[in-house]
Amino acid sequence: MIEALGLWAMHRIDPETGHGLALKALNAGLVPLPGTVTSPRLRTRVAGLQLPNPVGLAAGFDKNAVALRPLARAGFGFVEVGAATPRPQPGNPRPRLFRLTEDRAVINRFGFNNDGAQAIAARLAQRPDGPVVGLNLGANKDSADRAADFAQVLRTCGPHVDFVTVNVSSPNTEKLRDLQGPAALSALLAGVMQARADLERHIPVFLKIAPDLDAEGLEGIAEVARGSGLDAIIATNTTLGREGLVSRDRAQAGGLSGAPLFEKSTRVLARLSRLTDGRLPLIGVGGIDSAEAAYAKIRAGASAVQLYSALVYHGFSLVAEIARGLETLLARDGFATVADAVGTGRDAWL
């Protein structure tokens, strides 16, 4: 009832204001949280990371790492914060966040608004023990060398996180997606890998890709992944597509996330799983709002999943609901672990 009332109130104010209030409510202890959700069947290993369950929080919800303590108790198997850029930046003008309630979707054009790597690193240094925490790496909009920005954020924040994600797939920073091309991406990742080598400990490096890549683009990503030392790929970020939407704000500029992204992102995930022969861990993102949707991602090739937009419509109780539902679905189909189910339904999406 508390959660239902909170969601009702949030949906009657500006979406970005509501997002800020949600973070404050978490920190104030006003959101019921289940604690860690795990079991022998749900525990899994991804890119060397031991996860209590495969359900993660996608980047964007806690951009500035201000709510790590409550998020550690929210039922997630891992949490990704950010994106962080070397210097603070305000992002794009407001309004820049839109609820598409009829479509169970969200459009955002934030533009990497964040407090900057130094401030975020200071908060990450005080993170609670236990949960697996990653950081999404971004580039400043006015940077003369965006590729170098990713390595700079890694050097600043890397000592305090368990993994990092190279985000060259946000549609809200002009020409950022150009860095997904094979030559540019290889050069960028070489700089990131050198920055990682300079750290005192090894942390996995993930790459987050767009759902709008064509077959040639996906093949290029797979080829770069094989030669760069990437530890995993996150598929996918938001889309520029607007097919089938009915909500009033459907034509707003920005990246679309939520339920309408599910099919497109899952097809990209399955194709990437085939291109990499299942040898590279994949994390499925896009339109996950139920245990069944999370299970479909896993069977399409994902070793773990992330969600964010569904929280806008279902609240944080959804996290434990999905994790416990996954346990039931895995048991129903005779899978002893999450890893046993990965890729078993991939052909249905090809």
**DSSP three-state, residue 286:** coil
Q: Is 301 left (phi over 0), alpha (psi -120 to 50) or beta?
A: left
Q: Confirm if 106 and 58 have CB atoms less than 8 A apart.
A: no
Question: Could you tell me where the DSSP H helices lie in 139-261?
Answer: 146-157, 182-197, 215-228
The Cα–Cα gap between 106 and 90 comes to 20
Contacts of 1 (CB under 8 A, 6+ apart): none
Structure tokens at 146: 């965006």
* Residue linked to tokens 């987050």: 208
Select from 217, 219, 307 the least CA-distant residue to 262.
307
The Cα–Cα gap between 262 and 254 comes to 17
CA distances from 52 to 43, 71, 76, 131, 345 (A): 5, 14, 8, 9, 23
* Residue linked to tokens 């200071």: 122
| Torsion sign across C-alpha atoms 312, 316, 318, 322 | positive
For the stretch 123-128, contacts whose Cβ atoms lie closer than 8 Å and that sit 24 or more positions apart, written own/partner, are 123/64, 123/65, 123/66, 123/68, 124/65, 124/68, 124/81, 124/157, 124/160, 124/161, 125/159, 125/160, 127/65, 127/68, 127/160, 128/68, 128/69, 128/72
Catalytic residue among 39, 143, 169, 170: 170
170 is an active site residue = yes
255 strand-pairing partners? 108
Q: Which residues are catalytic?
A: 170
